Amino acid sequence: MPYYLTTPIYYVNGKPHIGHAYTTCAADILVRHRRQRGDETFFLTGVDEHATKVYRVAEEQGLPVQEYVDQIAEVWRELAPRLNAEPDFFIRTSDEGHKRFVREFLQRIYDNGDVYEGVYSGLYCVGCEEFKSEDELIDGKCPIHGTVPERIEEKNYFFRLSAYQDRLLELYDARADFVLPEFRFNEARSFIAGGLQDFSISRAGQPWGIPLPWDESQVAYVWADALINYLSALTYARPGEDLRPEFWPGRHLMAKDILRFHCIYWPAMLLAAGYEVPKQIFVHGYLLLDDKKVSKSLGNVVDPLELIDVYGADPIRYWCARAVSFGQDGSASIDGIHERYERELGNDLGNLLSRTTAMIERYRDGRIWPRAGRNDELAAAVDEMRGGVERNLDRYDITGAIDAIWSLVRRLNRYVTDRAPWVLAKDESQAAELDAILYDLADGLRVVAIAVASYLPETAPRLLEALGQPLDLAWDGVAYGRLVPAERIGAAPPLFPRIDPPPALAAA
Ligand code: MSP
């Protein structure tokens, strides 16, 4: 099955922070998992360059805007690889391929009669890059940015969103899982039911953007340009290939801040242009870092992203999945990274591997071979974990799925404690029992390695290697009893060696 997943394209008015990393990690976990299950995948991320706020930062820095975005886009391009995420394409909205496609797309909407000329007179928040109505403001200020929006009066082209209310409601009523989680679906649906207003899709008087094909004196409004990236990328990501037939419609992942654009504007624009609407939209929560703590304890010494340099990408990915229940809002602390690194990655998983391999080396001369009989209980636990991961990831719940994996990790740890192999090792008559236990531990760890590979892509192969197993991450391997005989297994070095917390964290 083709599986196409996107992250938002991020604004380049500043540098990436841990919030952007959060979405990118989640998306990569989902896509890698799909690939393990045998799907043909396409993962898109990138940057949104034609925003007014981007233009203004370039001006402040005294740089020609194209030069500014060319520089900062490279910083953003590094985000995914630093997180060990593997997007298939990194889109920039200043790509020629994107600009060409946006013009075609908007022209289609125009030709279909859904665009008309009007005068926009009202408020615009540059922070949100969004037109605001008076009643959305608090004390005359944008509730998100705390700034007074700018008053704008200009000739604009409007998209007839109001004409799509019924079709959007039909869509929502026909597809209960169009938007997930359910409370976000309800939020989007009630917004539609409350009535939709046409929105401006162009800006006059701004030189930065994609000129409208039918009126070059105006540029596309940044959202009318940006949303289209999800389709445009498929037309030029692989030169000479059109990926739309295989991958469209795709799935979108983003946080609740941009729900309306994705769940309402975008499907309506697609309908207007004669495209299928997205397959699914998952809206996750906002990860609120304990701000005071971050700024106080980190004192701007450690940029959260620099934590990757301290801990490596895998622990940061793991923390993203664990920090709050994915989909819900939640506040998390940066200190949690260190705690989870030591307790869960270091102790639960790392020590389990070290102990298991050390025992295989010591008691069985580094050899492991098929055991007699099978451990039905463990086999059932593996099946349960496998089902749990599949069910959770099928609904984007990266937290639920890692919980299911960790239940198995904990179970294996309990198995060691309960069966005390070091006691059995002293008694020759218990040799077969010890063989069976060592086999089960190694096989359990092999299963964990494959299951957790989408979260810990660097660690998973190390686990398999330490157990002398082929580096095959195919999902079929998540089944009891597939361990292949191996020799020369030696006590594995710690997967997650002790690290001193960065000074700023230690001071927290
Ligand atoms: N450029 C638009 C998106 C256009 S998509 C066609 C934009 N950019 S953004 O840089 O502001 O990115 C917003 C997105 O970044 C959120 O929807 C979310 O995916 C991610 N996050 C930024 N901060 C975040 C948190 N603190 N917590 C969770 N996600 C965060 O909006």
CA distances from 190 to 128, 131, 183, 263, 264 (A): 22, 20, 11, 12, 11
Tell which atom from ligand 1 comes closest to the C-alpha of 226.
6
Which residue's structure tokens are 């800006």? 203
Catalytic residue numbers read 17, 20, 125, 128, 142, 145, 293, 296
Q: What is the mean pLDDT of each run of 10 residues along the chain (508 residues)?
A: 98 91 97 98 98 95 97 96 97 98 98 95 89 90 90 93 98 98 98 96 92 97 97 98 98 97 98 98 88 42 71 95 92 85 98 98 97 96 98 98 98 97 97 97 98 98 98 98 97 94 61
Structural domain span for residue 423: 338-477
Measured in angstroms, how far is the CA atom of residue 373 from the centroid of ligand 1?
A: 52
Domain of 473: which CATH number? 1.10.730.10
With respect to residue 261, please indicate whether it lies within any of the assigned structural domains.
Answer: no
Measured in angstroms, how far is the CA atom of residue 110 from the centroid of ligand 1?
A: 29
pLDDT score for 331: 82
Quick: pLDDT tens for 254-289: 999 999 999 999 999 999 999 999 999 999 998 887
CA-angle at 290, arms to 286 and 294, nearest 5° = 120
Q: From CA 2, how far away is CA 179, in angstroms rounded? A: 19
Beta strand segments in 149-240, E: 150-159, 179-180, 199-200, 202-204, 211-212, 215-220
With respect to residue 237, please indicate whether it lies within any of the assigned structural domains.
Answer: no
Could you tell me if the CB of 275 is within 6 A of ligand 1?
Answer: no
Task: Name the residue with the closest Cα to ligand 1, atom 28.
Answer: 286
Tell which atom from ligand 1 comes closest to the C-alpha of 266.
6
Neighbours of 145 (CB within 10 A): 12
Q: Pick from 6, 7, 11 the residue to mutate for probing ligand 1's pocket: most ligand atoms within 8 Å of its CB.
A: 11
pLDDT score for 295: 39
pLDDT score for 492: 97
With respect to residue 71, please indicate whether it lies within any of the assigned structural domains.
Answer: no
Count of structural domains, the chain? 1
Tell which atom from ligand 1 comes closest to the C-alpha of 258.
17
Write the burial class of residue 417 (CB in 10 Å: 0-12 exposed, 13-18 middle, 19+ buried): exposed
With respect to residue 384, please indicate whether it lies within any of the assigned structural domains.
Answer: yes
Instruction: List, in sequence order, the alpha helices (H) in 237-302.
Output: 244-247, 259-260, 266-273, 291-293
Could you tell me if the CB of 286 is within 6 A of ligand 1?
Answer: yes
Could you tell me if the CB of 257 is within 6 A of ligand 1?
Answer: yes
Q: From CA 222, how far away is CA 224, in angstroms rounded? A: 6
With respect to residue 10, please indicate whether it lies within any of the assigned structural domains.
Answer: no
Neighbours of 132 (CB within 10 A): 18
Angle between helices 65-77 and 52-60 (to 10 degrees): 110
With respect to residue 67, please indicate whether it lies within any of the assigned structural domains.
Answer: no
Nearest residue to 267 (alpha-carbon basis) of 189, 183, 186, 181: 189
Instruction: For residue 465, give the H/E element and its range.
Output: helix 459-466
With respect to residue 407, please indicate whether it lies within any of the assigned structural domains.
Answer: yes
Q: How far apart are the first and last CA of the chain?
A: 47
With respect to residue 14, please indicate whether it lies within any of the assigned structural domains.
Answer: no
> Which pTM value belongs to this model?
0.95
Could you tell me if the CB of 22 is within 6 A of ligand 1?
Answer: yes
